Structure formats: structure tokens, C-alpha cells
Amino acid sequence: MFYTLIILLFHVNQQFYADVNIHEEMIADTIRTNTYRLGILRNRKAMEGKVVLDVGAGTGVLSIFCAQAGARKVYAVEASSIVEQAVRIVKLNSMEDRVEVIKGTLETVDLPEQVDVIVSEWMGYALLHESMLNSVIFARDKWLKPGGLILPDKAELFIAPINDLVVEDRLNFWSTVKSQYGVDMSSMTDFAKKCIMNRDITVNLVTVEDVLSHPSKFADLDLYTVTMENLRSVRGGFRCECFGSSSINAFCVWFAVTFAGEDKPLVLSTSPFSPETHWKQAVLYLDEAVDVMQDTKVEGRINMYPSEESARHIFYCMCVISYRLDYFLWLCVCVCMCVI
């Protein structure tokens, strides 16, 4: 049995980041923020007396972490109007002598010098939906000194089949209405299924109990070597073996990024098996559930490529079924799944 899923990602409007809600969500994500803080502070030796570029600085918190780690100068580049708040925050923390906030896109600003370190929180849902990685690559090629440091420096993408029990409960709800109110509304089940499992990619928390196999890594990105051309086709195969008898009604996609350091590398994971982050997981529902048994092998390939309409649009391709995610995000994943 074969399935194809395609994921299309539309870019995020810059002024989306001018709203307080997204910044509250990111700063309140202690896993995210503390991992960045530790990743920066653990590289204190590489930071001390050096020049740092923060790509997509937002409120400037990462820039301040870099200054706290001993950076001589930090250029905090931010395109949205949240830059005004970043200026206030930098001044409030008495860092204005070392942190310079610059409004503009990375591709248009002109820095006065090359940098020793690039820091960026560029990841979006399913890793690539914001496509800020293009800006990081641009910054690396134009502004990073030879032998410079990038934080984080590695990204990985994972996939696993799941059985989303919450969806099953929601679909079964309509069959219970008659026992509660004496009105048979079971005919709503098919309509609910079309609304809920409608090829819109959802971003929500997937529990460990929902995951039906060990994760399969399908892509690696090395930020020192990845090129714009590489991002035109991020592809890979996956192979999963199911834990037991169940039904696959969706696939779950997540990512992990790594901060190199003198000691053990630090990993920020958005896996269902790791503590919750604001990225949660991306869920791709199938049109129909597929029954599997213990050790059933689920195999396929994913190919992610940019839309011709915009370099910030991303497709995950290999065929026919398209998925949509709100919040300025469209996905198209194309996954060929073969249940053996």
C-alpha cells in the first residue's frame, strides 16, 4: 500500500514577529531559551573579545546572552518593528555599549566588520517553515570569518507514524450524543472527519503513547557546509518498524538542533520523547487509517523543495496529497509509504 503526502510551506510575514504573543511564547519556552543560553555560555572561550552576529534577533535576548558570555561586540539584526523593543531591552540591561541593534533584513544591512560567531534561532514548525535558514547561510558566506563559529551548527529531521487518539475520540463523540440528549447525530462523523483530517497540517503535542515506532531520521543539515542550492531539495528515506498492533492515522515530523562545545554537544530536540517546546510537532493526517501489526515495516521517502513562487515557500514532495497549516504556513509533504 502506497501513500504520498506533500508539504508546502509559505513564508511568515515579517510583521508577524512584531506581535508580543509570539515573543512571549518563545521566551516562555524554557527548553528553547535555556538551551540557547547554555549553548552560548558553554562557548564562552569562543565568545570572549569576539564579534557576534545575531540573525533575526527579535527582542535581543540571544544577543544579550552573547554579551554576557564576553563578546566584544554583538550586531543584533532584526527586520520587524519588534526591533524598537530590542533597543529598549538592551538599554535596560546596560548592554548598549556592546550590543548594536540594527533594523533591516540580513540581506540588505551593511556591517562594519566581519564576525567571529553567528547565532540564530531560525527554526520553524517542522524546522523549515520560516525559511530563515537562507538568511543564516547568506550571513555565513558574507560575514563569517574563516574558522568562525555557528550556533547551532547542525539540524536533523525525523518522522514517525502515529495513532492520534485525540482525533479518534473527537470522531467517536458524535456517536455518543444520542445517549446523552436523545438525538442521533452519528451522521456528523463523516463530516467531522473531513473537517479534522482535511489535509491541513496541524501543530500540536504528540504523546509518547501515540507514537507507533522508533523515529527515523530522514535529513541532516550541517550549517557550515549547507548551501542555498542544497535547500532546493532536502531529501531522504525513512524506515520504521511498528511497536505493536495499531492503526496509523498520521505521520509526525519534528527536528533537533545541536550546539557544539568543548564538552559534550548540547541538543535542543522537539521530539515527542523530549520535554515540550513551543514548536510541538507537525502532524500529517492520512485520508484513511492503515492497520499495522508488531514489526510491520513502514518505508518511504521525503523530498522537501522550495516553491517556484517564493524562495521562502517550501514543499515536501513526492506526489499528490497536499496539506495546509495556518499561522502563515502551508505544507505539502510528499511521502511514499509502503506497508509490508
Domains of the chain from N-terminus onward: 2-10+156-339 (2.70.160.11), 14-153 (3.40.50.150)
Average predicted confidence (pLDDT) for the chain: 85
Q: Determine phi and psi for 329, rounding to 5 degrees.
A: -130, 130
- Spacing of C-alpha 296 from chain mean position: 29
pLDDT at 255: 97
How far apart (Å, rounded) are the C-alpha atoms in residues 237 and 213? 15
State how beta strands 73-78 and 51-55 pair: parallel
Cα 256 to Cα 127, 152, 158, 188, 267, distances in angstroms? 8, 10, 8, 39, 7
48, 130, 168, 309: which one is catalytic? 130
Q: Residue 267, SS3?
A: strand
24, 25, 113, 121: which one is catalytic? 121
pLDDT at 334: 44
- Spacing of C-alpha 81 from chain mean position: 23
pLDDT reading at 312 higher than 60: no
Instruction: Establish whether 121 is a catalytic residue.
Output: yes
Cβ contacts of 19 within 8 Å, gap of 6 or more:
none
Higher-confidence residue of 107 and 199: namely: 107
pLDDT at 130: 66
Handedness of CA 10, 13, 14, 20 (dihedral sign): negative
Would you give the end-to-end CA distance of the chain in angstroms? Answer: 8
pLDDT at 6: 46
Strand partners, 322: 6
Per-residue confidence at 192, pLDDT binned at 50, 70, 90? confident
Instruction: Establish whether 130 is a catalytic residue.
Output: yes
Does the reported pTM lie above 0.75?
yes
Angle between helical axes of 30-41 and 61-68 (0-180°, round to 10): 30
How far apart (Å, rounded) are the C-alpha atoms in residues 248 and 283? 12
Which run of H or of E encompasses 146?
strand 144-151
pLDDT at 159: 93
Per-residue confidence at 306, pLDDT binned at 50, 70, 90? low
Q: Residue 283, SS3?
A: strand
- Kindly report, residue by residue over 33-74, the tens digit of the pLDDT: 999 999 999 999 999 999 999 999 999 999 999 999 999 999
pLDDT reading at 338 higher than 60: no
How far apart (Å, rounded) are the C-alpha atoms in residues 35 and 320? 38
Cβ contacts of 192 within 8 Å, gap of 6 or more:
170, 171, 173, 174
Q: Say which residue the cell 501513500 belongs to.
A: 3
pLDDT reading at 332 higher than 50: no
pLDDT at 194: 81
HSE-CB at 90 with a 13 A cutoff on CA atoms is 27
Per-residue confidence at 195, pLDDT binned at 50, 70, 90? confident
Pick from 202, 234, 200: nearest CA to 218:
234
- Kindly report, residue by residue over 122-171, the tens digit of the pLDDT: 998 888 876 689 999 999 999 999 999 999 999 999 999 999 988 888 88
pLDDT at 324: 39
HSE-CB at 301 with a 13 A cutoff on CA atoms is 8
323 and 5 in contact (C-beta within 8 Å)?
yes
